[in-house]
Amino acid sequence: MKIFTGLLVLCASVGLFSCSKGNLTDEFNTKMQNASCAELGSVECRISKVIKADDNASWYKFGDRKILFECKGTIKAGVDLSEKDSYTDVIDEKTNAITLTLPAPKVLALNMDPEETKLVYEKVSATRFDFSSVERTDLLRQGEQSIKEDLGKTGILEEAEKNSTLFFTAMLSQLGFKQITINYKKG
């Protein structure tokens, strides 16, 4: 009888917890902010990366779990002129020469479109739990972090420097300067 009562209480509590529902109010959508900036993006790279994880069997885990995503995204790099003293110029009016010193190029935006992140493969043994959305998101975050760490190897910053030099040279030439020198601060 006691066991039966215990089971009944357990079932009732499970039922109560599973029935609890939360309401999301419209007032939540209030955290918005406009901000000004000044960034000149001079290069855009289209990138792709495979994100995979193996959760193999061990002494306390029976069976494997494997997951594989394919991600695509874009990276934009250039110079950030937002700060007041981010650039300096020295003008020689006699020779119509200008030396412009710009901040070191940097990655301005990494955009991993969620719709371009595809789950390619997922395998879970019968004795293991399925990948939860929290786990999948965590793996994608690790992938994003890995992309950020590997950006230096892509040569995007060198390309951004080259393109920014071309842009400012053309602009200053159009403004009438004859001798143009573009330098970059060290990052």
Q: Which of residues 70-109 bind another protein (CB under 8 A)?
A: 72, 74, 76, 78, 81, 87, 89, 91, 93, 98, 108-109
CB-nearer residue toward another protein: 151 or 184: 151
**Interface residue with another protein, options 105, 107, 117, 161 (CB under 8 A):** 117
CB of 178 to another protein, least distance (A): 13
Using CA atoms, how far apart are residues 115 and 124, in angstroms rounded to an integer?
Answer: 24
Using CA atoms, how far apart are residues 187 and 102, in angstroms rounded to an integer?
Answer: 11
Determine, following the binding rule CB under 8 A, whether residue 121 of this chain makes contact with another protein: no
Determine, following the binding rule CB under 8 A, whether residue 112 of this chain makes contact with another protein: yes
Evaluate whether 113 touches 72 at the Cβ level (below 8 Å).
yes
Distances from the Cα of 73 to the Cαs of 40, 99, 113, 182, in angstroms? 20, 36, 6, 31
Determine, following the binding rule CB under 8 A, whether residue 40 of this chain makes contact with another protein: yes
Determine, following the binding rule CB under 8 A, whether residue 10 of this chain makes contact with another protein: no
Q: What is the dihedral of CA 109, 112, 114, 120, to 10 degrees?
A: 180
At 133, phi and psi to the nearest 5? -65, -35
Determine, following the binding rule CB under 8 A, whether residue 16 of this chain makes contact with another protein: no
CB < 8 Å & 24+ apart, contacts of 169-174: 172/98, 172/100
**Interface residue with another protein, options 55, 64, 97, 181 (CB under 8 A):** 55
**Interface residue with another protein, options 13, 137, 179, 183 (CB under 8 A):** 137
CB-nearer residue toward another protein: 103 or 143: 143
**Interface residue with another protein, options 97, 136, 181, 184 (CB under 8 A):** 136
Using CA atoms, how far apart are residues 142 and 147, in angstroms rounded to an integer?
Answer: 9
